[in-house]
Chain A
Amino acid sequence: MNDVIFMVLRGLIALAIGLVNVIIYLYVERKVFADIHVRLGPMRVGKHGILQPIADALKLLLKEDIIPSKADRMLFVLAPVIVFAPSIMIYMVIPLTDNVVANDLNIGIFYIFGVLTIVPIGVLIAGWASYSKYSLLGGLRAAAQQISYEIPLLLSVLGVIMITGSMDLRTIVGQQSGSLVSIGNIGIIPNWFIFLQPLGFIIYFITLLADQFRVPFDIPEAESELVQGYQTEYSSMKFGFLQLAEYSNVLVLSAVGVLLFFGGWNGPVLPPIVWFFIKVWIGILVVTWIRMTLPRVRVDQLMTFGWKLLLPLTLANIALTGFLQLYFA
């Protein structure tokens, strides 16, 4: 009995840490946007608008919840849950430091990407159940995009797994301690997998943006074409959940990227957990910065890019990693 309570407690703590970060993300994104735009951003709610995410959430909760009369009610209500649930499920297996993790899975990466594949189903359901043309087009685009980019996303990670020979996130991070190149006792380049797998990381980063519909791949939500894509007909907290899911997934994928390529919590002087969050937040800020700078690619260009360039490159990366391993082994 104690075990069950303990497990639930650990899950709740992981959930709380994740959601707090998402809330901070909402605020930071608005402020960073404003800074890039040469304006102030939220300033009224609390000092420098620090309570803005809470005000936003309250507003969404108090809004009237509209379900289109011709929509498929059950699927319409279910879709936001299906979209949001996977990212919460991923919180449970992400280790923050060597001994802080809600549930230590020895196939952590496999689990994460397995769970992530549920998202396109939810998106497609959302687009279909809304009974709206914009939603349908957006949902189809979103599903097509996520399915075609999940393959390079998975394959880009494979190089790291080949090097470590493990799918356990803690083992992978453990192997990234120390330094790759050092002069005397002072490490110059840390032993992070980004230096062993540069191509893998670049592809991981691009597919991360595409998989989570971040600019320049925000085609399903292209407001100049499809209003809000599959989210068009959603209102109130259902819309909130769809939005939350996206932010949460960026957070999760940033964390996974840090664990796989940037040595997780490894770093000098500061405590491990601080290093982990610093790295995760740098990743998020880069995504935010890109979102404000780049225009959007076209849907056929996206598909060509994914299938004709990224997929062969990931395969080449895997082959190269294999050869090098054989050569040095």
Chain B
Amino acid sequence: MPDLRTETLRVNFGPQHPSTHGVLYLIVDLDGEIIVNVEPVIGYLHRGMEKIFEFRNYSQCIAIMDRSDYMSAFFNEMAFIYPVEELMEVDVPKRGEYLRVIMMELNRIASHLLFYGAYGMDLGAVTPFLYCWREREKVMDLFEIAAGYRLHPNYFRVGGVKEDVTDEFLEGTMQFVKELPTWLEEYETLLSYNEIFNLRTRNVGKMTKEWAINLGVTGPVLRATGIRWDLRKTDPYSAYDDFDFDIPVGTHGDCFDAYRIRVLEMLQSARIIEQALNNLPGGPVRAKTKLNVSPPKGEAYARIESPRGELACYIVSDGTQKPYRAKVRAPSFVNLMAVPPLLKGHLIADAIALFGIFEPVMGEVDR
């Protein structure tokens, strides 16, 4: 009797598929339910951002940079401004730095809330998504009070922030930060302590420290393997030196750790915001710089810790008002490299759980 002929099944996940985040396109070869090969196809959201930078002046670039990782716009702005400030050697006033920290940490909470909901959705739990969306809305309202915009605030400037915040914002933020731990507790009972969720995520896709470092993985996924690498601590920028906070790390390097770290990070962000609000210094929010920002000739590279990992920007200036070259190191893009080797040999259902922890934002991958 001849052997049964079997062949692998090629399934397209995306670019329009309910599971993929944004327009990522995965070509998956399946042997039954087991993944044999994965090939990510990117570029569906390519907007030529880095090229556009070369034709815009620096203040315009900030507005464009907002659109890169549309879930954490403040980090993009910071990543772009940081090297420019290094080049110009601007002294940012303390109040400006504190406001930046408050904004970025609020944004981190918003981004992690979205991750929480989307991850639950990936694993089949629908309700957490709507709950965290409700809380995220409050952060968006705060952004609107401060900057006038919700998703793409365009609030940071070279040398500080656009304008001072109102009392309404400060009170609202304080209230939000105070309430956050109670919500998170509610959320954790929905997912973290759920037996099925634990079954699905614990010991799934274990990553070792060496493996993660070799593939250049950063962010919560790297910390899940047990490496205490958070640029806010290891290479402090802005005013992060002034605050007291912990960096949660995992022990197993599995999906559950990567998920849990984000929940714990939200609490730490709340701690930072509370400290910043209590010690908010007075004075100006923006250093006196020339209206047309034109850094001296030279180049600078600066990195910050975005919710997804190490976000960095490399800027070459030729002394004019426009950058000669601007290159963004997007954490989503680099982390995506780790997806194919990680997914091989897993079930399709696991692939969704594994893929979700990297939380790639396609706007940032394609830029």
Interface residues of chain A, those whose CB is within 8 Å of chain B, are 36-39, 133-134, 137, 215-216, 218-219, 222-227, 292-301
Contacts and interface: CB of A to CB of B under 8 A. Distances in A.
Given A38-B134, A133-B9, A298 B124 contact: no
B9 A224 contact: no
A293 B125 contact: yes
Interface in B109-134: 120-127, 130-131, 134
Given A216-B196, A294-B194, A295-B196, A134 B11 contact: yes
Contacts of A298: 199-200, 347, 349-350
B124 A37 contact: no
Nearest to B195: A294
A227 to B, nearest CB: 6
Interface size class of B (residues with CB under 8 A): 20 to 34
Interface centre among B17, B124, B197, by most chain A C-beta atoms within 10 angstroms, is: B124
Contacts of A294: 124-125, 194, 196
Contacts of A37: 126-127, 130-131
Top 8 A-B residue pairs of the complex, sorted by shortest distance between their CB atoms: A296-B124, A224-B19, A295-B125, A295-B123, A37-B130, A298-B349, A295-B124, A223-B18
B124 A224 contact: yes
Nearest to B190: A293
B33 interface: yes
Contacts of A223: 18-19
Contact of A295 (B9, B11, B194, B351): B194
B199 A38 contact: no
Nearest to B191: A295
Interface string B285-328: 00000000000000000000000000000000000000000000
A216 B125 CA distance: 9
Q: Which one of A137, A292, A296 has the greatest number of beta carbons of chain B within 10 Å?
A: A296
A215, A216, A219, A299, most chain B CB atoms within 10 A: A216
Contacts of A227: 17-18
A297 B347 CA distance: 12
Contacts of A300: 33, 347
Contact of A225 (B9, B19, B126, B191): B19
A231 to B, nearest CB: 13
B92 interface: no
B88 interface: no
A137 B125 CA distance: 21
Given A37-B130, A295-B191, A299-B33, A224 B11 contact: no
B348 interface: yes
A31 to B, nearest CB: 15
B352 interface: yes
Given A215-B124, A227-B17, 12 more contacts: A38-B131, A133-B11, A216-B124, A223-B19, A225-B19, A225-B348, A225-B352, A292-B127, A294-B125, A295-B194, A297-B199, A300-B33
Contacts of B30: 137
Nearest to A227: B18
Interface string B329-367: 000000000000000000111111000000000000000
A143 to B, nearest CB: 14
8 contacts: A137-B9, A137-B30, A225-B19, A225-B349, A226-B348, A294-B124, A295-B200, A301-B200
Contacts of A39: 130
B84 to A, nearest CB: 41
A133 B8 CA distance: 12
Nearest to A141: B33
